[in-house]
Amino acid sequence: MSISSDERRRQEYRSRLNRAIDYIQNHYDEELSLTRLAEIACFSKFHFHRLFLFLVGETVSDFVRRIRLEKSLHKLVLDKGKSITEIAIECGFSSSQNFAKIFKTQYGVTPSFIKATYDFENTATTMMKNLVSNDERKAQQAVAIDNHFQTGYESHIDESLHKQTDAEVKIVDAPDFRVAYIRNHGPYNKEALLPSFTKLHQWAEPKQLIEKGSIVLGAIWSKPDVTPEDKMIFDTCITVPKSINADKWVNIQMLPGGKFAVYHCEIESNGEIEAWIHLVLNWLISSGYQPDDRPLYQIYYNDLETHPLKHQILDLYLPIKPLYE
C-alpha cells in the first residue's frame, strides 16, 4: 500500500482529527473546549480549528452543536420521562433557554413542540391497533417535522408495509468492540463506502485478522432523516486485539456494546435502508422496546462482489432499551 508524502500527511491529519471526533461523540454532554479538543488531536488551537474546518467541512463549534442537537432530538422523542431542562443539560447545553433558542434556529420548531407532538410509545401503540392508514403511518415513522426532516425513503416504507412479514430477531447483550476503523463523511451507499472497505481489507489481510476471526462491521453514527448527507459519519471497522495499535492507515476506538436487537438478512446491493425499515416496522413497533442512542451496527459476513447474485449477508444491530422503564 504505497502512499505519497502529501497523502501520508493528510492521513495523519485525519487520524488526529478522528480522535477528537471520537471524543466529541462519546463526551458530548461535557464541556468541550477548543483547548481540550486540540490537545486530544495533538495540534495547536489555531491549526486544529483550521484543519477541522478544511477536512470535516464545518467548524469545531458547529460540529459540537450539531451532535448535541441530534442527541437532544432523539431524547425529546424517546425519553418522555425527562424534562426539557434535563435533556438540555444531558446534551451539554448550559440552560434550557439557550437550548430552546439554538434548537429552534436549527430545526424551525421548539423542543416543547417535538416533545408534545412526537411520541414513540403512542405511535407504537396506535400502529399496533391498526388505527392509522398507511400514509399516516409513514408520516409517523419518518418523524418529519415541518418539512425540515425529509427521509426520502417513502418507497422503502411502502415496500415494507406491503410485505408486512415478521422480522426474525434475537436479543443479545453484546460486549464492547475494540476496532480499527476508517471514517467516512458523506452518504450511506455502496459507491461511497466501498473504497474504505477495500482499504481496510488491504490493511487487515497481511495481519491475518479475518483468518483469526475478526469481525468486519460498519458503525452508523448519524441519522439520515436528521443529519445532512455530506456530514453523515460511517466508520468502516474490523475488531482487533489489544496488540494492534493505530497507524497511518487506521484509528482505534471502543464501540459501545449493550443490548441489541439483531436481524440477520440477505439483501441486494444498497438494500440496507429497506432492511432497517423492515426491522423497525415489522419488529420494533410491537416488541416492547425502543431505540437507544448508541450507534447502529452492520456486521458483514461476505464480500458482495463475490456473491453470485451480488447480495450482502449481514446482521443489523439495533441498540434498544425497554419501552416502559
What's the pLDDT at 157?
A: 46
Residue 315 Cα distances to 85, 129, 143, 238, angstroms: 37, 29, 25, 15
Q: Is residue 155 part of a domain?
A: no
Does one domain contain both 184 and 283? yes
Does one domain contain both 193 and 275? yes
Q: Is residue 77 part of a domain?
A: yes
- Tell me the CATH number at 200: 3.20.80.10
Q: Is residue 74 part of a domain?
A: yes
Q: Is residue 122 part of a domain?
A: no
Domain boundary, last residue among 95, 113, 131: 113
Q: Is residue 10 part of a domain?
A: yes
Burial of 169 (0-12, 13-18, 19+ CB in 10 A): buried
Does one domain contain both 183 and 104? no
Output the CA angle 294-299-303, nearest 5 degrees. Answer: 150
Q: Is residue 210 part of a domain?
A: yes
| C-alpha cell at position 39 | 490537545
What's the pLDDT at 126?
A: 59
Does one domain contain both 184 and 310? yes
Does one domain contain both 195 and 299? yes
Does one domain contain both 203 and 91? no
Does one domain contain both 182 and 85? no
Query: 272-282 and 154-163 are packed helices; what angle lies between their axes, rounded to 10 degrees?
Result: 50
User: pLDDT tens digits for 52-104?
Assistant: 999 999 999 999 999 999 999 999 988 888 999 999 999 999 999 999 999 99
Does one domain contain both 303 and 186? yes
**Band of residue 236 on the pLDDT scale cut at 50, 70, 90:** very high
Please give the residue range of the domain that contains residue 63. Answer: 5-113
Number of domains in the chain: 2
- Tell me the CATH number at 67: 1.10.10.60
User: pLDDT tens digits for 252-298?
Assistant: 999 999 999 999 999 988 889 889 988 988 899 888 899 999 999 99
**Band of residue 125 on the pLDDT scale cut at 50, 70, 90:** low
Residue 128 Cα distances to 34, 199, 281, 282, angstroms: 47, 44, 10, 10
Domain boundary, last residue among 78, 98, 113: 113
Q: Return the C-alpha torsion angle 196, 198, 202, 203, nearest 10.
A: 20
**Band of residue 304 on the pLDDT scale cut at 50, 70, 90:** confident
Q: Is residue 86 part of a domain?
A: yes
Q: Is residue 165 part of a domain?
A: no
Does one domain contain both 190 and 315? yes
Mean pLDDT value across residues 16-39: 96
